[in-house]
Amino acid sequence: MSHHDDFKFEPVRGLPEALPEGEHILWQGAPNPARLARDAMGLRWIMGYFVLLAVWRVGTSSVDYPLGQAVLHGVPFLLMGAIVCLILFGIAYVQACSTVYTITNKRVAMRIGAALTMTLNLPFVQIGTAKADVKPDGTGTIAFELMGDTRVSYLMTWPHVRPWYMARTQPALRSIPNAREVVEIFADAAETRVGQPQLTRREPANGSAVAAE
């Protein structure tokens, strides 16, 4: 894809330096733009908000105008909603295209940021728990709770974080396709490397989740 050309300086795609001896890549991926727009940008909520505004406007206008004319009064709200949703989807698309998530046999690396690119390196020994939320369509998010004094900025790493966990920011592989497969890759690599975390499974109402505890 063409966006890779912006990172020709990388010795290894998605990584700021060549892999040391004994380390190799197990998986690389990026967010699904449409799912990222829904999960991180709240696209469906915003669409619903503008639809409600349009319905409210039609309802109030129908008191004084014929129904056909009242319906036209709701159209501007739908147009504004469409514009806002297109902007948010564009942001999600750019974020997805500039992101490379990497799992090696020793760490998780996240090259993130559209305007200001940065790479997070998360060795398995610094990850206390890993929580996965897998959606029915197969996409999902894997969030990492860091141990000790390891800290990352919520604002600097958004949307590649677990939502609303600001005091103890949890970096996350957001909205990735084939999330179950990625969970297994991470679990096997982490257990081999440090003997933890151990994975337990739970099945929520709206999808699946895997927790490493």
Separation between Cα atoms, residue 167 and residue 147, nearest integer Å: 13
pLDDT in tens, 5-37: 444 567 788 888 888 888 999 999 999 999 999
pLDDT in tens, 152-209: 889 889 999 999 888 889 999 999 999 999 999 999 998 876 654 444 444 444 544 4
Q: Which of 109, 211, 112 is nearest to 159 (CA)?
A: 112
Lowest mean pLDDT among 45-49, 111-115, 158-162, 167-171: 111-115
> In whole angstroms, how far apart are CA 172 and each of 127, 138, 210?
12, 16, 14
Average pLDDT over every residue of 133-153 = 90
Q: How many CA atoms within 13 Å lie on the side-chain side of 162?
A: 17
Q: Which of 176, 103, 96 is nearest to 135 (CA)?
A: 176
Q: What are phi and psi of 113, to 5 degrees?
A: 100, 125
pTM equals 0.80
Position 194 scores a pLDDT of 61
